[in-house]
Chains A and B, each alone.
Chain A
């Protein structure tokens, strides 16, 4: 007999869980997402358990490992409920003090609170921290309210209510209609209307259909899907079951990359819990609807994020994309109609069904409804996951939520859309971020990676980085992708190492046109984007590299030289001691000299030279060339 076999038992179970947990009971919530675990969250949780045990407080105070709230930069994050006191960068050594001061004496541990860099004042409540305050956390918000391994916790926050509503009060067509009214667009890349895919599958002749969660989040720099599937796996399952019901599928797959072991673990656990409780399997909630889910681990191939390649991988083959002249929604896995959406898309489904399409559509712009999670990373003060309504400006994300660029540097560009995306320059900071605006600007939404770059980032090097990534990640089946990327990368390697020539930019554009026009799948068709978008906004940087062998960002090693200004050097010896290549000579009261032949251009001397002296010069272009030349010819003349 299953525990939850009808709407009544579901509600009864929910009430029981809520009665058991008194919201006024103190609870220590520690983020147990992969980011915080990497910063030592498991040790912090263990320390809390030991401390509470030794003080005999385990009955009065609970400890909970939650999903990722997003502020990974400051992890491990500890939130004390019900006051929502937020402590950042907590170490096991801080635990005893937190228990004694905050939980027993009801006082704050001031030194662990967030300090607002603008005002210098300390902020106690999580929700008041600017990083969180300016977000709209429709999806991510649940992560910190539940233990990611507990079905009861998910039920307590209205989990599976949407499923009960869909299965027992709505017909599949009504579910489809509600999704259509919400205008939900796929969060994984192109922003294709979700209902259209669903309808296409539902209307396909073949009665055997599949629904698939794409959790092969491969865009480097994007980790929102990891946070969702690790932190709230039941919400993804719930969305998937609702989708299966609308489409008429009885088998689902979750394709999750094996590089996310915690995601694999948590989603497998969630499936077992749902099966045991009657939320998966035969006759779900007494509706007569049967549905099963299988987890497939991705073995490490970026191209498998492409839907047809992912389906090939599900069949147990090397993940080569297939031509999609016939949509996968009609002819997908084993040639059966298959609906594939990414994690964040599925996470939106229960919210729309539970709270209505109108509720969902109040957020966002005319063409792009709802919220979007971005992973804000790179040269930004507050790194982490950010959920905002579609249409918020880039400036708001970078400055208000992200807290601007650290170390007083200047903002240069933000790269969006992963390897298929592009770079958006400072002049477009007021761009309203949604699918259509980003595409117009020559980039794309992709899965929501946002990599912030400052003046020290070379845009030619960024294009080279992405092409290098894609050269390895292309499946290699079709010529324009395999060979086009290879040839473009060779040109970029030449440009960034001072071997560029006149005509290289035109050659890149010619290769790009063929790769875009003739490639088989979206990976190839979008592979030149990093080159084209940097050419669009930063063409002068390419020209500087080619004509003057100059890297304006001082990032391309081959075009750099480091030199010590004899007038400014105070012979402190800091650079000499820090140089990993032992390339700096000098002694007390003797001006230091860089041996250009030994120098590996790592830049350590430049960063360690005390700012009061500023004696180490960073050179590129003609200046670098002449320094290298004179120093090599006549090292004895200096010093």
Chain B
């Protein structure tokens, strides 16, 4: 495996090919915030909080460091004004859904994000997909998935599977960055009302 030399926040970094910018930064002690990242799961690139600036050949791009791979000569900047502003707005947008999330509130302090900037719509979920992906990729149970799209997108337990698998597992609960109760709540609701869809007329 050949090595790749790049610069992150002015530091010379040697990384192995195929490594993500996030891992390369972490290897030299540069912390980049993440919400949807999990070392055991496939890179996802959903929350975008790990956005950094990457410059190559004079062209600077904003990229998600959890999926973007190292390249020779790449110059990465993780705390520019642009990056800070993006993280601030993203946090403000997520705090509208999960105003009590400790992780979000701590990050909000780092980026001077106003937790009350947007009208509160506490759905608690910030769509990091950790529960969904953990259940599918590691447990291979597929008890929880996404439904719908756009602003309507949410997580959804499949009652038949959840009824058999979830009570003895619950490994996804502590992964939730907003509230472990969120997954529990949606799960309970799914189990209490298993027959939401009409089964008549079939």
Contact = CB atoms under 8 A, between A and B. Distances in A.
Direct contact of A and B (CB under 8 A): yes
Interface of A: 301, 303, 318, 323, 325, 470-480, 482-487, 490, 510-511, 513-514, 517-520
Closest 8 pairs between A and B when the two form their complex, measured CB to CB: A476-B153, A483-B93, A514-B89, A474-B150, A518-B48, A486-B151, A517-B62, A518-B51
A357 B148 CA distance: 46
Given A514-B85, A520-B64, A479 B118 contact: no
Given A474-B149, A514-B86, A479 B64 contact: no
Contact of A485 (B89, B119, B151, B152): B151
A483 B45 CA distance: 15
Contacts, number: 99
A490 B85 contact: no
B135 interface: no
Contacts of A511: 89
Most buried by A among B51, B67, B150: B150
B90 A474 contact: no
29 contacts: A301-B149, A318-B146, A323-B64, A323-B67, A323-B68, A325-B63, A470-B150, A472-B150, A474-B149, A476-B153, A477-B129, A478-B47, A479-B90, A479-B93, A480-B93, A482-B127, A482-B150, A483-B90, A483-B93, A483-B94, A487-B93, A513-B86, A514-B86, A514-B89, A517-B62, A517-B86, A518-B51, A518-B64, A520-B64
B69 A325 contact: yes
A155 B45 CA distance: 49
Contact of B151 (A325, A477, A482, A519): A482
Given A301-B149, A325-B67, A487-B118, A479 B126 contact: yes
B46 A478 contact: yes
Contact of B48 (A301, A303, A325, A480): A480
B150 A510 contact: no
Given A479-B127, A520-B48, A484 B93 contact: yes
Nearest to B82: A517
Contacts of A519: 48
Contacts of B67: 323, 325
B93 A490 contact: no
A472 B148 CA distance: 10
A478 B93 CA distance: 12
Contacts of B150: 470-476, 482, 485
A483 to B, nearest CB: 4
A159 B70 CA distance: 48
Contacts of A518: 48, 51, 62, 64, 86, 90
Given A479-B126, A480-B48, A518-B64, 12 more contacts: A325-B68, A472-B149, A474-B150, A476-B127, A478-B45, A478-B48, A479-B46, A479-B94, A480-B89, A487-B96, A511-B89, A513-B89
